Amino acid sequence: MLRIIAIATAAALLIGAAATVATPSLVRVYAESKVDAALKRIRRQTTSVVNRGEVSVELSKRRIRVRDLSIEGGNRQSRTHVGELIIERPTTNAEKLIARRVTFLDITIRSAGETITIPRFELDNYSGPERGLTATPGVGRNARSQADLIGQVSMDRAVAPLIVFMGDETGVRRTVRNATIVKAVNGVIGEASISTVAIEAPYLPPDQAPTTSSIAISAGPIVYQGLDLPTLWRFYAGDGYGDRDEFLKSAKLSNFAAALTLRPGGRAEATAKTVQVEKVALRPLKFPVTTFDPIATKLRLGGPLTPAEIRDQLLFGVDLLRAVSFERIAVAGVQADIAVEGEPRRSARLASAEIGPYADGRIELFTASELNYQQDDGRRAAIDLAEATAFDARGFLDHADRIGRDEALLTTSPTAEEVVRSAPRIGSVELRGLDAAGQAGEIRIAGTKIDLNAPLDAVPQRVAFQLDGLDMTPSERSPLKNWFEAAQLDALRGSTAFSLTLDPERWTLRLDNLIYRVEQFGSLTARGDLMSVDPLLAIATGADLVDKFSAIELGELQSSFKDDGLVDLLIRRAATEAGTPAEVYREQIAREAQAQIFRLFGPPAENSAASAARFIRNPRSVEVTVTPRGPDQRLIDLIRAFDLGPAGLAQVVDVSILGRF
């Protein structure tokens, strides 16, 4: 549409400039000749076929009218008709065309399977070079020079009260009302606005939309600030030269609403109070955006893509993600409701969400607050705050780019090293105020957080996890209900945290700390080391996985347990099953443990055996240290020793037990 309006406007201004120098007696004939000359020039510059109807001039008002202006694109795929074009007070100055007002009436554009109608379009105080309005975004070898031309175009105001897009085959109708541009200087629009935008698809065939039968979307008003058209034209141009320049200072969309009717029956609705975008920057794509049109058409029609087209699609997607950056995108007041026949009604609410800054496949921050989900059958979930930091997909984009350039096979699984290089990274994920309920019961979590240190081109080197304020209550129908009753618990309350560090140089994996606490049970802490841990172990497969796992060597493991009722609970349950009084059973277990430890580990374990017995008799806290018996003791040896029972374990590790009373 920009191309067609631009051509028509340029023709009108050329006509107007010529008419200002004609005498009254010759003005009509002279104007017609200048119109024809202008149309001929535009045909040559744009390869379009341009024709016109009657030309009339009102000298007293310095106004020119051209009726029935028709434009046919050079590819014969677009046709435009302008019922009447009116130019007021046209002049020329320093090789620029100037007009106080240009008005288009009854514009009809037929192109790419749709028809566009614009009853009225006005430009006030236009100023620009003769070819400035004939520049077409993303088309032709002169796209960058066309952007430079647009950079010389200025106007005080442009208004289109109504623009309607109608799909010729789909029946999809898009309506734009009161599109307004305020003060464009050298191709940069100071402010633009749209009062409402609406999209209506009254019927979608099942073969095109298996789950949706109709769509209605509306939004408005929409306000744009600082819209740089030359930057957009260079982005479309696709010559790949230059850095990112700011394209949009800000945009705000209000009152978004969408409604879908579903097959075989149902309805989905979504609304958002505001959507805001800040500081969008673009750099020229590496190829014209129009080169993707054939692939987009095939995707829209559901046709299969060839391997070459899939690679081109990857290249386009990667380049697009690298060409765009933004400071912030935020939404507020989001609400969604889904009702499907035979299913519980579902609804979701989101107070606000924000993402950004973003550049080159990396998102610095994502936050969402007050997310609520519920169903009519009683299931619900809520999160007070969700936050993720430092999401980095640069390695993934590099790998996709290699596939697109046919440097990596599309159908071949990546190697372990390629997985390490290309897997997306994330710095941290945090959730606060979780509250969920379902058929199994209710669960609340005050907060949970995962921190990762995963440099590009390297395996993750540290992971830390923390969960605070766990409170879980089973329902009467929950399979966990019997376990809770046996444990004499109304609810499971506690917290946990751990931290793992991998040293890729020394091949050591360290459990920095493990803290696990459950009310009425106790708390457990642990730390330890494993050696000869190949950094690629986590992504190894087959024989390579077996070899890497078998090479892991045992280090020292230190743990402590502080009892808060778990030992007494276990003894009471075991005593009940054995039909023995609890205290009698406790003494039996204490003596058996002391004798077993002494028998397995010998005289050096005499104190440890006594400490274990004292802990069973009076459970408070105990510290246990496990050390490998040999300098090269393997983890696989410890796993095999479990099959042999305590005697097998004693051949692999030594155990030291120290009670705290």
- Could you write out the three-class secondary structure of 608-623? HHHHHHHHHHCCCEEE
Residue 645 has pLDDT above 70, yes or no: yes
The length of the chain is 661
- Extract the tokens encoding 527: 């730390």
Residue in the structure block whose two tokens are 């669960």: 443
Q: How many other CB atoms are found less than 10 A from the CB of residue 402? A: 17
Looking at this protein, which amino acid is placed at residue 251? A
Residue 243: what are its φ and ψ, rounded to 5°? -100, 175
Residue 138 has pLDDT above 80, yes or no: no
Residue 32 has pLDDT above 70, yes or no: no
The confidence score (pLDDT) of residue 140 equals 44
Residue in the structure block whose two tokens are 């920095």: 512
pLDDT tens digits for range 573-611: 899 888 999 999 999 999 999 999 999 888 888 999 999
Residue 470: what are its φ and ψ, rounded to 5°? -70, 130
Looking at this protein, which amino acid is placed at residue 379? R
- Extract the tokens encoding 598: 């002494």
The confidence score (pLDDT) of residue 246 equals 94
| CB 324 within 8 Å of CB 282 | yes
Q: Where are the alpha helices (DSSP H) in 536-605?
A: 542-550, 566-578, 582-601
Among 305, 286, 281, CA closest to 294: 305
Residue 141 has pLDDT above 60, yes or no: no
Radius of gyration, alpha carbons of the chain: 36
Residue 431: what are its φ and ψ, rounded to 5°? -125, 140
Range with lowest mean pLDDT among 40-49, 262-271, 325-334, 561-570: 40-49
The confidence score (pLDDT) of residue 76 equals 60
Cβ contacts of residue 189 below 8 Å, gap of 6+?
181, 182, 183, 224, 226, 227, 228, 229
- Extract the tokens encoding 354: 């924000």
The confidence score (pLDDT) of residue 296 equals 65
Q: How many other CB atoms are found less than 10 A from the CB of residue 330? A: 16
Whether the CA torsion 308, 314, 318, 324 is positive or negative: it is positive
Peptide bond into 460 cis (omega under 30): no
The confidence score (pLDDT) of residue 201 equals 83
Cα 260 from chain centre: 23
Rounded to an integer, what distance in angstroms lies between the CA atom of residue 534 and that of residue 553? 11
Confidence tier at 403 by pLDDT (50, 70, 90): confident
Residue 413 has pLDDT above 80, yes or no: no
Beta bridge partners of 523: 517, 562
| CB 460 within 8 Å of CB 452 | yes
More confident residue, 168 or 68: 68
Decide the pairing of beta strands 212-219 and 173-185: unpaired
Decide the pairing of beta strands 492-503 and 188-194: unpaired
Burial of 127 (0-12, 13-18, 19+ CB in 10 A): buried
Whether the CA torsion 333, 334, 339, 345 is positive or negative: it is negative
Range with lowest mean pLDDT among 113-122, 133-142, 497-506: 133-142
Residue 235: what are its φ and ψ, rounded to 5°? -60, -45
Q: Where are the alpha helices (DSSP H) in 125-206?
A: 143-150
Rounded to an integer, what distance in angstroms lies between the CA atom of residue 53 and that of residue 71? 12
Q: How many other CB atoms are found less than 10 A from the CB of residue 594? A: 20
Q: Three-state DSSP class for 146?
A: helix
Report yes or no on whether pTM surpasses 0.85.
Answer: no
Looking at this protein, which amino acid is placed at residue 610? A
| CB 652 within 8 Å of CB 627 | no
Q: How many other CB atoms are found less than 10 A from the CB of residue 44? A: 9
Q: How many other CB atoms are found less than 10 A from the CB of residue 204? A: 20
Q: What is the mean pLDDT of residues 215-233?
A: 91
